[in-house]
Amino acid sequence: MPPPLIVLRDVARIYGAGEAEVRALDGVNLTIRQGEFVAIMGPSGSGKSTAMNIIGCLDRPTAGQFLFQGIEVQGLDQDRRALLRRHCLGFVFQGFNLLARSSALENVELPLIYKGQPRALREARARAALEKVGLQGRESADPSQLSGGQQQRVAIARALAGDPMLILADEPTGNLDSHRSHEIMLLLQQLNREEGITIVMVTHEEDIAAYAGRLLVFTDGKLTRDSAQPERR
């Protein structure tokens, strides 16, 4: 059996010292396997964003172990961590983070440029990713010509274009109305079920978290709930 995709063992993340010390994470143990769709919830300051940043190789634990496919990530230097992010992870943010003066196709191509892929291959993969999110025919549109839901689809296509093992979604519906939020969550659910892409999503909305197959709740830096959820369609 292959190793789990993500393992956190007694992970702590401490900021400051003395009276100013903040234990953003405090002895967290967590395993996520390939193909899971996991939602992370918790109040402000609970540690959910810190956990996401560690999993996304954007921060390091103060103590404990973080393993990605059995590899100890905290022991990697900055360049190797950047390579892991570039080749294994995709990111989706609340604010879309699209380049305003670039087309949908050009926005999706961006991570492939960083990978050094030739232009023809970049364009083919970007077109395929836009088709997966239902935006075929809108390749030349810039963000101002797209609705909020369509912009988030471009952002998801950008994450998909690099063929990631894991997509990290930080409040992916935070800037959308309820109808478009439902559409985006159905899309993420479809990508998880049909493409087998592992998704870890931070949200503060229970109805959005309900689309995931597993719910993690953080409180005061600790993982206080880890439960399976019924399948939602």
- For 103-116, what is each residue's pLDDT tens digit? 999 999 998 988 88
| pLDDT at residue 2, rounded to an integer | 75
Tell me the C-alpha distance between 75 and 87, whole Å: 18
- pLDDT for the residue numbered 181: 94
pLDDT at 233 over 70: no
Could you give the dihedral angle defined by the CA atoms of residues 135, 202, 85 and 22, in that order, rounded to the nearest 10 degrees? 160
Helices (H), 70-118: 78-88, 104-114
Query: What is the percentage of the chain residues whose pLDDT exceeds 70?
Result: 99
**Sheet containing 63-68: order of strands:** 22-32, 6-15, 63-68, 71-72
Tell me the domains of the chain and their CATH numbers: 6-96+163-228 (3.40.50.300)
Task: Answer whether 198's CB lies under 8 Å from 166's CB.
Answer: yes
User: Please, what is the Cα angle at 55 between 48 and 203, to 5 degrees?
Assistant: 35
**pLDDT tens sequence across 139-191:** 999 999 999 999 999 999 999 998 999 999 999 998 899 999 999 999 999 99
CA atoms within 13 A on the CB side of 173: 22
204: amino acid identity, one letter: H
| Predicted pLDDT of residue 73 | 93
Is it the case that residue 46 has pLDDT exceeding 90?
A: yes
DSSP conformation class of 175: T
Q: Up-side HSE of residue 139: CA atoms within 13 Å toward CB?
A: 15
User: What's the pLDDT at 103?
Assistant: 95
Distance of alpha carbon 209 from the chain centroid: 14
pLDDT averaged over every residue in the chain: 92
Q: In this model, does residue 226 exceed pLDDT 70?
A: yes
Measured CA angle at 227 (ends 37, 153), to 5 deg: 25
